[in-house]
Amino acid sequence: MAKHKLARFAENETFGNLFQHTNYDRLNVPFPLKGKWGSEYFHNDNPITVELGCGKGDYTIALAKRYPNRNFIGVDRKGARLWRGCKDALEGEMSNVAFLRINIDNIGYYFAQGEVSEIWVTFPDPQPKSERRRLVSPRFVGFYRQVLPERGGVLNLKTDSRMLYEYVRETAPVEHWEMLEDVEDVYAQGTNPLLTEVQTFYEKMWLSEGRTISYIRMKI
């Protein structure tokens, strides 16, 4: 393994804003903050937004700066990427940010029902050959429903993949997901500064290749 990755993994162990599955679901140890993120970690009862497949946590950090009265948690399974977000949050002394290194399939192990008010999925792998692995498939939405309010949980998707964008548009009416916003080309339409002013690591790559970036906001 590359030296810099090992150094990042070692530093991750020292971060107070990172929680890793190796200490909890991997060992069958109950996660102590489940149902208690507000009281025991953030020390407030502000709503919690979760970014899934957050990579380096670009949206988590940017949203947390914009909305100091909300809490944000970035989730990914790759520790070397999460290291960047953790470091930025610590250096910026951001008390409304945390990160979780877990498999998203296990999200119900880490949050109680209704503890998460909103979800962002930013530039997920489109998984053209495997619907069940898509982070916006009905299977994954089933996991999200374990942690969102029983009614009215919101999912935001930002993607460069035409296939994934069309897939969600087609799946939504079948699954009774309620479309709140559907922007086919966020940069051409430019209606929402949140979508154009915050760019993730992958988004910058896809933009440099000239890809169209789409956004969907829906109640699941």
Ligand X SMILES: C[S@@+](CC[C@H](N)C(=O)[O-])C[C@H]1O[C@@H](n2cnc3c(N)ncnc32)[C@H](O)[C@@H]1O
Interacting residues with ligand X (CB under 6 A): 53-55, 76-78, 81, 103-105, 122-125, 200-203
- Nearest to ligand X of 103, 212 (CB atom): 103
Is the Cβ of residue 34 or residue 38 nearer to ligand X in the bound state? Answer: 34
Residue 15: partners with Cβ closer than 8 Å, 6 or more residues away: 86, 87, 90, 99
CA dist 56 and 198 (Å) reads: 13
Closer to ligand X at the Cβ: 103 or 171? 103
| Burial (Cβ within 10 Å: 0-12, 13-18, ≥19) of residue 208 | exposed
CB 181, min distance to ligand X, A = 19
Q: Which of 58, 76, 88, 125 is catalytic?
A: 125
Smallest separation, CB 103 to ligand X (Å): 4
Cβ count near 156 (within 10 Å):
20
Residue 62's alpha-carbon distances to 116, 195, 198, in angstroms, are 18, 11, 7
Shortest Å, Cβ 174 to ligand X: 23
Nearer to ligand X, 104 or 218 (CB): 104
**Closest distance of CB 127 from ligand X, Å:** 9
Distance spanning both ends of the chain, measured CA to CA: 40
As a whole number of angstroms, the distance between CA 159 and CA 137 comes to: 14
Known active-site residue 58: no
Nearest to 199 by CA among 92, 97, 88, 58: 58
What's the CA gap between 177 and 179, in Å, rounded?
Answer: 6
Active site residues: 125
